[in-house]
């Protein structure tokens, strides 16, 4: 068996075990209603995690996404309030802005040869600051088009509602999977994560790929911002603080190696669902406190990181025969 699939299998296995535990305790949890809510509640997280997966696969990290989501919400709310532009035009404008923002960070990372961590940290401050400069209050969105978006759903068997934003998330994952696994860009992303020098030797255009990666992450953060504003019906500059970390955690729990080069977009989907399931379980239980979510997620993180460390050691020991 391909050892690189092991983390993915582990992710799926943990998800299934979690499902079984939930089912035994609360049979109702495995209904399409709960599933629909799970998809809706985690839609924005899932979408941004798709972008994060691609960034992490390339060996980078993007700390700016949480702030970009908040900026997006504020941008949409303020634009709809202060200009007469229809919502779809605002969406397009926003996506252009966030994509360009991501591309600029990618350009800085490559151009200055600086660690992505610190460049995207600056991006995080900038995006959050830009949101503050637009407004410091929560701006409600009342737009008929928005009402429509929020209320659109497909009724699944069992009365579960697959909302529009849930569908957008599923679609994002599908698109992310195609990009990561079926395009030359995707191959370049994995190549970069496997080692920049080797990638260069094999003909990867490192600069262009780096810009593309962060532009993609910026686009996904913008899309996530749209979905989040539909979900909450407002724009608030203090929203989604720390979402970047939740997204990173979802990616890692999804079996992607934080050092890059190995992982699957589908794994991230399972990672997001697992985290959502834990939260739902705690809500269902009622006696458990919400903070257990964080502790369990931290524990899962530890488990996966140690598991991957062990796998890495196992494979490298086999090929290099011990200490290098």
Partner 1 sequence: MQTLRRLAPQIVTLLAVCLLVTLFFPGFLDISMSGGRLVGPVIDILKRSAPVALLAIGMTLVIATRGIDLSVGTVIAICGAVAAWAIAGGMGLWAAVALAIGAGLLAGLWNGVLVAVIGIQPIVATLILMTAGRGIAQLITEGRILTFTDPGFAWFGSGTLFGMPVPAVIWIVTGVVMAQLMRRTALGLLVEAIGINRRASALAGVNALVLLIAVYMASGLCAALAGIITAADIRGADANNAGLWLELDAILAVVIGGNSLLGGRFSIAAALLGALIIQTIDTGILLAGFPSEYNLVIKAGLVVIILVLQSPRLATEWYFWRRSVREGPPPATTKEHAR
Partner 2 sequence: MLLTIRSLTKTFPGTLALDDVRFDLAAGEVHALLGENGAGKSTLIKCLTGAYRPDAGEITLDGAVVAPRSTGEAQELGIGTVYQEVNLLPNLTVAQNLCFGREPRRFGLVSSRGMKAMAEGMLDGYGLDIDVSRDLGTYSVAIQQIVAIARAVALSGKVLILDEPTASLDAREVEMLFDVVRGLRAQGLGIVFVSHFLDQVFDLSDRVTVLRNGRHIVTEDIAALDRVRLIEHMLGHALEDEVEARNAGHVEARRPPMLHFEGMARRGVIEGFDLEVGQGEVVGLAGLLGSGRTESAELLFGLRAATAGTARDQEGPLTLDSPRAAIRAGFGFAPEDRKTDGIVADLSVRENIALALQARRGWARPIPRAEQQRLAEMYIERLDIRTSDAEKAVGDLSGGNQQKVVLARWLAMNPRFLILDEPTRGIDVGAHAEILRLIHQLTDEGMSVLLISSELDELIAVSDRVIVVRDRRHVAELTGAGISTETIVHAIAQHARKDGEAA
| Position among 4, 81, 132, 179 found at the interface with partner 1 (CB under 8 A) | 132
Please report, as residue ranges, which positions from 247 to 286 form the binding site for partner 1 (by CB under 8 A).
248-249, 252, 258-259
Task: In whole angstroms, give the CA distance from residue 236 to residue 317.
Answer: 50
Query: Is residue 112 at the binding interface for partner 1, with CB under 8 A as the rule?
Result: yes
- The verdict on 167 binding partner 1 (CB under 8 A) reads no
Cα dihedral: 50, 52, 57, 61 (round 10): 180
Residue 320 binds which of partner 2, partner 1, none (CB < 5-8 A, kind-dependent) = partner 2
Q: How far is the CB of 218 from partner 1 (least distance, A)?
A: 15
Query: Is 201 one of the binding residues for partner 2 (CB under 8 A)?
Result: yes
Find residue 221's DSSP bridge partners. none
| Residue of 296, 290, 244 whose CA lies nearest to 275 | 296
Q: Please tell me the count of residues contacting partner 1 according to CB under 8 A.
A: 46
Q: Residue 162: phi, psi to the nearest 5? A: -90, 100
List the single partner that 299 binds among partner 1, partner 2, none, CB under 5 to 8 Å by kind.
Answer: partner 1
| H or E element that contains 16 | helix 6-25
Interaction between residue 128 and partner 1 (CB under 8 A): yes
Tell whether residue 261 is a contact of partner 2 (CB under 8 A).
yes
Q: Of the candidates 220, 227, 201, which has an alpha carbon nearest to the alpha carbon of residue 103?
A: 220
H/E run at residue 154? strand 153-155
Element (DSSP H or E) covering residue 231:
helix 206-232
Q: Which option in partner 2, partner 1, none does residue 112 bind, with CB closer than 5 to 8 A by kind?
A: partner 1
48, 220 contact by CB (below 8 A)? yes
Q: Which of 6, 78, 93, 122 binds partner 1 (CB under 8 A)?
A: 122
Tell whether residue 194 is a contact of partner 2 (CB under 8 A). Answer: yes
The reply to whether 238 sits near partner 1 by the rule CB under 8 A is no
Closer residue to partner 1, CB minimum distance, 170 or 301: 301
- Could you give the CA distance from residue 210 to residue 208 in angstroms, rounded to a whole number? 6
Residue-level length of the chain = 324
Backbone phi and psi for residue 163, each to the nearest 5 degrees, phi listed first: -75, 165
Nearest distance in Å: CB 51, partner 2: 20
Stretch that binds partner 2, among 140-148, 188-196, 207-215, 299-307 (CB under 8 A): 188-196
Selected from 20, 148, 202, 295, the binder of partner 1 by CB under 8 A is 295
Burial of 289 (0-12, 13-18, 19+ CB in 10 A): exposed
Angle between helix 87-112 and helix 206-232 axes, rounded to 10 deg:
140
d(CA 132, CA 136): 5
Q: Does 3 bind partner 2 (CB under 8 A)?
A: yes
Site for partner 1 in 30-89 (CB under 8 A): 61
Give Cβ neighbours of residue 125 (< 8 Å, ≥ 6 apart).
67
Asked if residues 44 and 166 have their Cβ atoms less than 8 Å apart, the reply is: no
* Stretch near partner 1 under the rule CB under 8 A, chosen from 24-32, 170-178, 180-188, 293-301: 293-301
- Contact residues for partner 2 (CB under 8 A)? 2-4, 178, 182-184, 186-187, 190-191, 193-195, 197-199, 201-204, 261-262, 315, 319-323
- Contact residues for partner 1 (CB under 8 A)? 61, 108, 111-115, 117-119, 121-126, 128-130, 132-133, 136, 197, 241, 245, 248-249, 252, 258-259, 289-299, 301-302, 305-306, 309
């Amino acid at each position: 068996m391909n050892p690189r699939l092991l983390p993915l299998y582990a992710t799926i296995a943990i998800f299934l075990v979690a499902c079984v535990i939930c089912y035994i305790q609360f049979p109702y949890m495995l209904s399409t209603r709960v599933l629909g809510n799970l998809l809706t509640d985690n839609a924005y997280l899932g979408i941004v995690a798709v972008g994060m997966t691609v960034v992490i696969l390339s060996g980078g990290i993007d700390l700016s996404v949480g702030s970009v989501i908040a900026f997006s919400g504020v941008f949409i709310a303020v634009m709809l309030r202060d200009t007469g532009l229809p919502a779809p035009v605002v969406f397009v404008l926003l996506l252009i802005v966030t994509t360009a923002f991501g591309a600029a960070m990618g350009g800085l990372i490559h151009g200055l040869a600086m660690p992505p961590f610190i460049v995207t940290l600056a991006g995080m401050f900038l995006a959050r600051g830009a949101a503050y400069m637009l407004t410091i209050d929560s701006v409600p969105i009342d737009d008929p088009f928005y009402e429509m978006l929020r209320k659109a759903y497909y009724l699944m068997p069992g009365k579960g509602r697959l909302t529009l934003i849930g569908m957008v998330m599923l679609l994002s994952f599908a698109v992310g999977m195609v990009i990561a696994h079926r395009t030359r860009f995707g191959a370049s992303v994995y190549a970069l994560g496997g080692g920049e020098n080797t990638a260069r030797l094999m003909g990867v255009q490192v600069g262009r790929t780096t810009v593309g990666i962060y532009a993609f992450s910026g686009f996904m953060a913008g899309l996530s911002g749209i979905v989040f504003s539909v979900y909450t019906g407002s724009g608030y500059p203090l929203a989604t603080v720390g979402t970047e970390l939740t997204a990173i955690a979802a990616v890692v729990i999804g079996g992607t190696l934080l050092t890059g080069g190995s992982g699957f977009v589908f794994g991230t989907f399972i990672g997001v669902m697992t985290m959502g399931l834990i939260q739902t379980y705690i809500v269902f239980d009622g006696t458990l406190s919400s903070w257990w979510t964080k502790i369990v997620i931290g524990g899962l993180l530890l488990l996966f990181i140690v598991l991957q460390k062990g796998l890495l050691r196992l494979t490298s020991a086999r090929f290099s025969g011990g200490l290098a």
